[in-house]
Amino acid sequence: MTIDQMLAEDEGRKKKKYRCTGGAWTIGIGWNLDANPLPADIDYYLKQNGKITDDMIDRLLDISIRHATADCHVLFPEFKSFTPARQMALINFVFQLGYRRALTFRHAIAAINTGRWADAANEMRASQWYAQTQPSRRDRVIEFIEEG
Instruction: Decide if 1 contacts 35 (C-beta within 8 A).
Output: no
Q: Is the pLDDT of residue 57 over 90?
A: yes
Structural domain total, the chain: 1
When pLDDT is cut at 50, 70 and 90, the band that residue 28 belongs to is very high
pLDDT tens sequence across 124-138: 999 999 999 999 999
Amino acid at 57: I
Instruction: Decide if 27 contacts 9 (C-beta within 8 A).
Output: no
- What pLDDT shows up at residue 113? 98
- Its domain, for residue 120, covers 3-147
When pLDDT is cut at 50, 70 and 90, the band that residue 22 belongs to is confident
When pLDDT is cut at 50, 70 and 90, the band that residue 48 belongs to is very high
d(CA 10, CA 24): 17
- What pLDDT shows up at residue 29? 97
CATH number for the domain harbouring residue 76: 1.10.530.40
- What pLDDT shows up at residue 36? 92
When pLDDT is cut at 50, 70 and 90, the band that residue 74 belongs to is very high
When pLDDT is cut at 50, 70 and 90, the band that residue 21 belongs to is confident
Mean pLDDT calculated for residue range 47-63: 98
